[in-house]
Every structure is written in structure tokens, then in C-alpha cells.
Amino acid sequence: MTTPHERTRALRQAREMLERLARREDIPADVRMQAQGVLRHYPEQWALDMMVQDWQMLAADKTFGLAPEI
């Protein structure tokens, strides 16, 4: 089962991967464009931090949602 800490880390790592894909010149242009398109709507680190804070304040059940990375 994925923990809230793991979920937060996965979101951060996915953004980092998309950013790397969007910059690489050795992969097809359509893949780079798709990565750029997803990044336009993907939460930046500051937004992810805010979502984590919101989950911590609002969620009674701490087994779901997001939590600070360990």
C-alpha cells in the first residue's frame, strides 16, 4: 500500500522526470511536447507543499492523501 509520504515523493519525482524529458534533445519532439503539455498543469513544488499542508490540516484519516516526505 502506498503511504502518504510515498505519494508525495512520487508526485515530486514525476515532475522532475517530466522536466528532464521536456529538455532532452535525443527523444522525439512529440514526447517532449507532451511532457511540456502535462507540466503546464502539473503542480509545482510550492503548490505540492501547500497541498501537503492542506491534507495535514483537513484530513482526519492520515492513511490517505499527502504527507511531508521522509
Tell me what pLDDT residue 58 has.
84
- Is pTM beyond 0.75? Reply is yes
Start-to-end CA span in the chain (Å):
16
Tell me what pLDDT residue 53 has.
92
Residue-averaged pLDDT of the chain? 92
Domains of the chain by residue range:
8-58
| pLDDT (tens digit per residue) in 17-51 | 999 999 999 999 999 999 999 999 999 999 999 99
Tell me what pLDDT residue 1 has.
78
Tell me what pLDDT residue 6 has.
95
User: Which helix or strand (DSSP H or E) is residue 55 part of?
Assistant: helix 45-58
C-alpha cell at 37: 503539455
